[in-house]
Structure 1
Amino acid sequence: MTTPVPLDRAKLLAARYRAAEARPYLASALYALTVVLSERVSTMAVDRYWRCYVAPAFVDATPVDELAGVWIHEAAHLLRDHHGRADRLPAAEQRDHRRVNIAQDCEINDDLLTDGLRLPPGRMEPRLFGLPGGRLFEEYLRNLPVSLPHPPDCGSGAHGVPAPWDLGEPSGTGTAGLGPVEAEALRRTTAQAVRAHTRTRGTVPAGWRRWAEEVLEPTVDWRKALTGAVREAAAWAGGAVDYTYRRPSRRTPALGGRVVLPSLRRPLPRVAVVVDTSGSMGDDDLAAALAEVSGVLREVGVGGNRVTVLACDADVHAVARVTAVDQVELAGGGGTDMTVGIRRALAAQDPPNIVVVLTDGYTPWPPEPVSARLIAALIGQDAPEPPPWAETVRIPTTR
């Protein structure tokens, strides 16, 4: 039986001090981490409550300068909200949390190594997979090979999946840690320190500068917002269960065939996309936005003949059930009234559960809520607000 190695706390804390001294703009985040000794981790790992789980054997075997790099690496997972971003990934991409962890390590280590920090051997970097530097982990994840070596687990504070060593939510009974409000405040404090350091010394790496600007002046990722809105609407539509006799209930045989009981069915959502083809709409922006909507619909499992596209200016010019963007006929070019397209969609023999309206917003809207979930995908940051009962996603233009 191997004798456990005692934790060299002085060495571990000396490494944290070195990291904070070398990168003072990260000092608040580094000292906010609560150290938890754990024989179950292989190196160091974090949870979403800003606890840092440390393997004594790893501390013993790793030089102080490399430990300093690992301190910054683990703090970066939490500062960049990797667990929150992982929670927002499509379900198919969340299944392999180790692969998510590799993509996250690529995002972090690329910046740390460019900054001249030392890290232990075996680190994950974009160049190992033939990928460019300076990207976010979501992009790396899409381009990583399916079969990958398993690196050390950076914990639930990185990939979001609970780890065997996690202490759970802070309860005030010895499980110290930060809650989500405190964590967000710490991110903003650190981002402000990055900005101030940049202005006075100008030595902050580009990756940290971009991160700080995003925290202090965030931009909404409209693709994620649109995906979330459509997914929520699809779940709402799919929850509209009803009874059907097409597939009898499994309890029917118990009644001896005298009575046929209906079964519950969960209908697949039907979607109508009303496309504003009036003269104020740019073809390039419209085509790009329509392609994104099609991708979102495929991602949430809506496709084939369950999507109808209506080209509309002041009148409906084309209606088609489509399976690909290049099948859409963007006819029109006159005035603008999306109410006409919405009402035409809802008057179909099989009316949609979800209506997505792609428009620049300069249009009349129905005076009251309609029978379907309506998502207004507004092209251009200056597009006027739709009615308050419509869900709104703003799509920036490329012009």
Structure 2
Amino acid sequence: MTTGAPGAPDPESGALDFDKLYAARLQAARARPYLATALFALHTVESRQVPTMSVDRYWRCYVSPGFVDRMPVEELAGVWVHEVSHLLRDHHGRSDRVAKELGLSGPGERLRMNIAADFEINDDIYGDGLAWPRGAAHPGLLQLPAGQLMEDYLRLFRLGPRLQEMAWLDCGSGADGLEREWELGPDGAHALSRQEQDGVRYRVAQGIKGRPGHAPEGWRRWAEEAFHPPQPWRELLGAAVRSAASGGGAGEDYSYGRPARRSAGVPGVVLPSLRRRPPRVSVIIDTSGSVSDAELGSALLEVAAISRAVGGRRDLVTVVPCDAAARIAHPLCRGEGIPLLGGGGTDLRTGFATALRTRPRPDVVVALTDGQTPWPEARPACRTVVGLFSRSGGSWDEEDPDYVPLAPPAWARVVKIGP
């Protein structure tokens, strides 16, 4: 939550005014259209335990009816943007990592993380059609520079008398990673999975990068760096796909659009020329029970990286979710809605068969998997890249500690994904 000390929640307040609340969300989406996907992905939960508004790490937004009654629609729009910004920038995950690395614990340190996260997002999200909510925390309150990240601000201030008036601040576990008693938790209704959250972030980042002049510097930096951090495996995967796609025979076909130069030696005969066309790529995603939600979310990001590796032609990339059986090949033009269903055993041979039956046939097949699968006996009639999720420590099979999965076949280019 982002606005003035509210005092104790009012148990006598009436029902939540959803019309006013959603009118504010619509105003927020009009003022910041690149955030619309995220704003409408939030599920609203009425709560009298919350003084104002807060979010949990599962993309639920808890709202106090009394707070909505007291706030003008213009300021409520700013609160919507503030809360969803915490989730888009993964402040809960980043706070957990900082707390673990620096040994920070207790509600005081989590409050400091919440304030630092507010400083990061509040220094440039307001104005230009979005009103400042009353009491919103910003780095100028402590004479700190604007444009820093949460982790930077944590090193620049400590709790003290100047921050006494912010003791009420509580944006929920979505801001600092610490679950509250009023939150529904991972098993509650309307929680977004990790891959769904990554899908929302991907669409927002694409919207920002598509119209960079319409977003503040903080959001452009997030879209370019925070959401797509430089990862060695991503560069290797892109290079492997480009190498496979540029090999002889890949993405090549004969065309009569321009006669071959050797036609001059055959009078009266028009010979076709060999022309290079954009390569088609089919991505098989392992959705078996041994693949975690985090790995599935990472797989969606790799699909986006693959589309960039072939020139951004999303219409030339298809995705085949596969566990023990492959279903259908989804075109990437509907990539954010691809259902990564599965959960059983793994047999990527069916995924390869489905991918190779796709028409037009792919020039490159990319399999993203943890490797616990049998592989096709014969080499596919196209180039193959395997993105292998890294596993550090522990056993591949709890019932058989000596089990080691078969390595990918020698005819596949293998790239390890992860640390």
Counterpart position of 1:30: 39
Match of 2:149 among 113, 136, 140: 136
Question: What SS is found at the alignment partner of 2:170?
Answer: coil
User: Given that residues 112 and 158 in structure 2 are in contact (C-alpha distance below 8 angstroms), is that contact kept between their aligned partners in structure 1?
Assistant: no
Counterpart position of 2:68: 59
Counterpart position of 2:225: 214
User: Given that residues 110 and 176 in structure 2 are in contact (C-alpha distance below 8 angstroms), is that contact kept between their aligned partners in structure 1?
Assistant: yes
Question: What SS is found at the alignment partner of 1:88?
Answer: helix
2-side partners of 1:165 and 1:131: how far apart?
A: 33
Cα offset, 1:88, TM superposition: 0.5
Cα offset, 1:185, TM superposition: 1.5
List gaps (5 residues or longer) in structure 2: 1-9, 233-417
User: Given that residues 192 and 216 in structure 1 are in contact (C-alpha distance below 8 angstroms), is that contact kept between their aligned partners in structure 2?
Assistant: no
Cα offset, 1:170, TM superposition: 3.6
Alignment deviations for residues 177-216 of structure 1 (CA, whole Å, 9 cap, x no partner): 2011111121111100111122xxx221111110011255
Aligned AA (2:123):
D
Alignment deviations for residues 10-47 of structure 1 (CA, whole Å, 9 cap, x no partner): 00000000111111110000000000000011110000
2-side partners of 1:87 and 1:210: how far apart?
A: 22
Aligned AA (1:214):
E
User: Given that residues 59 and 67 in structure 1 are in contact (C-alpha distance below 8 angstroms), is that contact kept between their aligned partners in structure 2?
Assistant: yes
Aligned AA (2:15):
P
Q: 2:18 matched to 1:5?
A: no
Q: 2:171 matched to 1:154?
A: yes
User: What is the 5 A alignment of 1:92-241?
Assistant: 92-95=103-106, 96-113=109-126, 117-147=130-160, 148-149=163-164, 150-170=167-187, 175-198=189-212, 202-215=213-226, 217-219=228-230
User: Given that residues 20 and 68 in structure 2 are in contact (C-alpha distance below 8 angstroms), is that contact kept between their aligned partners in structure 1?
Assistant: yes
Aligned AA (2:82):
H
User: What is the 5 A alignment of 1:1-399?
Assistant: 3-89=12-98, 90-95=101-106, 96-113=109-126, 117-147=130-160, 148-149=163-164, 150-170=167-187, 175-198=189-212, 202-215=213-226, 217-219=228-230
Root-mean-square deviation over aligned CA pairs: 2.1
How many pairs align?
217
Q: Structure 1 stretch 1-10 or stretch 13-22: which is displaced more? A: 1-10
Alignment deviations for residues 350-380 of structure 1 (CA, whole Å, 9 cap, x no partner): xxxxxxxxxxxxxxxxxxxxxxxxxxxxxxx
Alignment deviations for residues 226-272 of structure 1 (CA, whole Å, 9 cap, x no partner): xxxxxxxxxxxxxxxxxxxxxxxxxxxxxxxxxxxxxxxxxxxxxxx
By relative contact order (CA 8 Å, sep 6+), the higher-ranking structure is: 2
Aligned AA (2:29):
A
1-side partners of 2:159 and 2:55: how far apart?
A: 25
1-side partners of 2:58 and 2:152: how far apart?
A: 26
Cα offset, 1:122, TM superposition: 1.5
**Would the alpha carbon gap of residues 116 and 158 (structure 1) be closer, same or farther in structure 2, given more than 3 Å must change?**
same
User: Given that residues 29 and 190 in structure 1 are in contact (C-alpha distance below 8 angstroms), is that contact kept between their aligned partners in structure 2?
Assistant: yes
Question: What SS is found at the alignment partner of 2:57?
Answer: coil
Aligned-residue sequence identity (percent) comes to 51
2-side partners of 1:140 and 1:19: how far apart?
A: 27
2-side partners of 1:166 and 1:72: how far apart?
A: 20
Kindly report structure 1 stretches of 4+ aligned residues shifted beyond 6 Å.
Answer: none
Alignment deviations for residues 85-127 of structure 1 (CA, whole Å, 9 cap, x no partner): 0011034334311111000001111121365632322211101
Aligned AA (2:209):
R
**Would the alpha carbon gap of residues 197 and 170 (structure 1) be closer, same or farther in structure 2, given more than 3 Å must change?**
farther
2-side partners of 1:115 and 1:137: how far apart?
A: 23
Q: TM-score, normalised on structure 2? A: 0.49
Q: TM-score, normalised on structure 1? A: 0.52
Cα offset, 1:219, TM superposition: 2.9
Alignment deviations for residues 43-67 of structure 1 (CA, whole Å, 9 cap, x no partner): 1000010000000111000011100
2-side partners of 1:59 and 1:35: how far apart?
A: 13
2-side partners of 1:129 and 1:80: how far apart?
A: 23
Question: What SS is found at the alignment partner of 1:143?
Answer: coil
1-side partners of 2:229 and 2:211: how far apart?
A: 20
